[in-house]
Structure 1
Amino acid sequence: MTNAKTYPIIAVDGGGTRCRIALKRGQDTTVVETGSANVTSNFDGAVAEIEAGLNALAEHSAMSLPRLTAIPAYVGLAGVTGPAIAERLTQALPFDRVVVEDDRPAALRGALGAQDGFVAHCGTGSFIAAQIDGQRRIVGGWGPVLGDPASAQWVGRHALSYTLDAADGLAPNTGMAQHFLSTLGGTAGVVAFAASARPADFGALAPVVTDHAEAGDALAIALMGDAAGLLVRLLTKMGWTPGKTICLTGGIGPSYATHLPAQMQMDLKAPLGEPLSGALSLAREFSTEVTLERG
């Protein structure tokens, strides 16, 4: 029987900004990266990004595509909101043996491993997760229209709202507001940008906010504080109490560290790994199941 621990595995971690595909063979891991892969926002586009990544992976690993797609695969993608879309994606992908989930379990596994704790993941989208005694609970991740508080796109979108407030004299006209007004072409340009912007476009504005907040910009600090307050409320509702580990993950997640209450700051721990390492761990579990089934 093939040793499940050494059997090759493939892991896919895809979100609103990028998609990463990894092949692990023994101690060697090959990773390729493609573009946005959110199956709710653009199903066909997400499938195309994975297929492009697999072709690149085949080239980098010197394996044929049929050999590659025969390897057990774990796919965690943004926008997998339920069984129906998971099954549709399973049928659309070229893998012979694959398990499809949304991107949250991989991020949770990557951050905590097998340890207890909480994860506030804020990338282009966002979610809050808890892992206690081996049981996981995940809330949020419902996309930019109905959810994703404190995500990068949420911050970018609200930064423009705060900027318009500043232009109306309802908020201080700080450097952050002046930056957006000058780069986007005044209030009319801000409104025009927002009318056609995608979540990733709003998310691309978030670094401007975090940079200005670090420099002491009052409007940026207020925005980061408001976003951090949402995380505090959600983490508390999920059962966090002082002394329990919290990991801030995602592109903007770690930027909230200094905006959290003192006790939460004391409980912050660096994540053990990233979502892709979590996806590889889940791929290994799936590969073990496949190997055991085959005997």
Structure 2
Amino acid sequence: MSTAATGRVAGIDIGGTKTRIVLARTDDGAVTEDRTLPSTGWQTRSLPDAAAWLVERLTTVPARIAVGAHACETPEQCERLADELRGRLSVPVDVVNDAELLVPAAGFEHGVGVVAGTGSIAVGRHRDTGAYLAAGGWGWVLGDEGSGSALVREAARAVLARADEGGSPDALDEALLTAFDVPGLPELAAAMSWDGGVETWGRHAPVVFDAADGGSPLAAAVVEEGGLELAALVGRLAARGARTDAVVVAGGVITGRPRLFSAFERALAGRLPGTVPVLLDAPPVRGALALALRAERGR
């Protein structure tokens, strides 16, 4: 690593798959370095090791760093990681959960970020205290409402419930059987419950959307319910005092499928009239860079 890069800040987005590091000049925000690396080896079980992992990937030490860190789940954990980095780099460091990058990445100062990808979570800040608030993110077994994993789980539950009621199968049944390569519903239930494939449920989410687009009322209802549940996460944050100046949405499942975003948009309008969600069209690392620039310029 070279010497400190005075007059520059760094925004870092550490995701589950890849890490992006962007450096920019403090005065005009012009980007001077932009690198994407694999996140292989990233973990937060040992925060000293996590800090060492990140330091090894810096080519320069900027005047300030802001990090959005995957698997940094609580403010206390984020602050401990920031302390570890400050001790190694001797510069100001701020660390937040990576979902908190969405709002600043979209150009807003305050609001709620919603991620709906393989999993789901909504995060924000209290309007008076600035305290971190989160809803959802409890994993595919207990939650992750509206995520790819949850949509597949709820689609399977819907077809199994209808079979229990003696109803006729539709396109959703066929889509799930094909996706899991099984001949019938008993085998589908077994494959999803016992064959070690739970972690891969999310990759089958496209078949639920395709079935809905193909006319399956059951699949359409599953997607609509997913949108309702995502809006409910935002509603819970608002009820706890979160600022909802903006609601910024990201994640491959909701950004890649207009049907889910439309369901979320309708449900949010019902819960929080006047609140219009925005699909993030910038890389989340821009949010980390915005946080770093804001903090450095405000010194």
TM-score for both structures, normalised by structure 2? 0.68
Task: Please tell me whether the aligned partners of residues 13 and 103 of structure 1 are also in contact (alpha carbons under 8 angstroms).
Answer: yes
Task: Please tell me whether the aligned partners of residues 72 and 287 of structure 1 are also in contact (alpha carbons under 8 angstroms).
Answer: yes
Give runs of aligned pairs for residues 278-289 of structure 1, distance below 5 A.
Answer: 278-285=287-294, 287=296
Quickly say closer, same or farther: Cα 1:136–1:47, change in 2 above 3 A.
closer
Residue 71 (structure 2) aligns with: 79
Quickly say closer, same or farther: Cα 1:248–1:85, change in 2 above 3 A.
closer
How many angstroms apart in 2 are the aligned matches of 1:282 and 1:105? 10
1:107 is matched by which residue type in structure 2? L
TM-score for both structures, normalised by structure 1? 0.69
CA RMSD of aligned residues (A): 4.2
How many angstroms apart in 1 are the aligned matches of 2:158 and 2:147? 16
How many angstroms apart in 2 are the aligned matches of 1:263 and 1:105? 20
How many angstroms apart in 2 are the aligned matches of 1:37 and 1:283? 25
Residue 113 (structure 1) aligns with: 108
Quickly say closer, same or farther: Cα 1:190–1:129, change in 2 above 3 A.
same
How many angstroms apart in 2 are the aligned matches of 1:207 and 1:83? 34
Deviations 1:77-108 (A, max 9, x none): 23222356436655499962443322222123
Residue 12 (structure 1) aligns with: 13
Task: Please tell me whether the aligned partners of residues 104 and 138 of structure 1 are also in contact (alpha carbons under 8 angstroms).
Answer: no
How many angstroms apart in 2 are the aligned matches of 1:158 and 1:262? 18
How many angstroms apart in 1 are the aligned matches of 2:269 and 2:282? 20
Quickly say closer, same or farther: Cα 1:23–1:117, change in 2 above 3 A.
closer
Task: Please tell me whether the aligned partners of residues 14 and 36 of structure 1 are also in contact (alpha carbons under 8 angstroms).
Answer: no
Quickly say closer, same or farther: Cα 1:270–1:192, change in 2 above 3 A.
closer
Quickly say closer, same or farther: Cα 1:112–1:154, change in 2 above 3 A.
farther
Residue 104 (structure 1) aligns with: 99
The count of corresponding residues between Structure 1 and Structure 2 is 269
1:82 is matched by which residue type in structure 2? T
Residue 150 (structure 1) aligns with: 146
Q: Does 1:30 align with 2:29?
A: no
Residue 262 (structure 2) aligns with: 258
Deviations 1:1-46 (A, max 9, x none): x997x4141412324xx33312224423413142588846x779x9
Q: Report the CA distance between 1:215 and its aligned residue.
A: 3.2
Report SS of the residue matched to 1:176: helix
Quickly say closer, same or farther: Cα 1:127–1:207, change in 2 above 3 A.
same
Residue of structure 2 aligned with 1:124, choices 104, 112, 118: 118
Q: Report the CA distance between 1:224 and its aligned residue.
A: 0.8
How many angstroms apart in 1 are the aligned matches of 2:202 and 2:43? 18
1:217 is matched by which residue type in structure 2? S
Residue 197 (structure 2) aligns with: 197
Quickly say closer, same or farther: Cα 1:238–1:37, change in 2 above 3 A.
farther
How many angstroms apart in 1 are the aligned matches of 2:246 and 2:79? 34
1:32 is matched by which residue type in structure 2? T
Report SS of the residue matched to 1:252: helix
Quickly say closer, same or farther: Cα 1:10–1:258, change in 2 above 3 A.
closer
Residue 225 (structure 1) aligns with: 224
Unpaired segments of 5 or more residues in structure 2?
none
How many angstroms apart in 2 are the aligned matches of 1:282 and 1:160? 41
Task: Please tell me whether the aligned partners of residues 162 and 177 of structure 1 are also in contact (alpha carbons under 8 angstroms).
Answer: no
1:139 is matched by which residue type in structure 2? A
Task: Please tell me whether the aligned partners of residues 158 and 218 of structure 2 are also in contact (alpha carbons under 8 angstroms).
Answer: yes
- Aligned-pair identity in percent equals 21
How many angstroms apart in 2 are the aligned matches of 1:171 and 1:274? 45
Q: Report the CA distance between 1:288 and its aligned residue.
A: 5.2
Larger CA deviation: 272-281 vs 80-89:
80-89
How many angstroms apart in 2 are the aligned matches of 1:24 and 1:209? 40
How many angstroms apart in 2 are the aligned matches of 1:100 and 1:198? 31
Q: Report the CA distance between 1:221 and its aligned residue.
A: 0.8
Quickly say closer, same or farther: Cα 1:239–1:287, change in 2 above 3 A.
closer
Residue of structure 2 aligned with 1:160, choices 146, 156, 174: 156
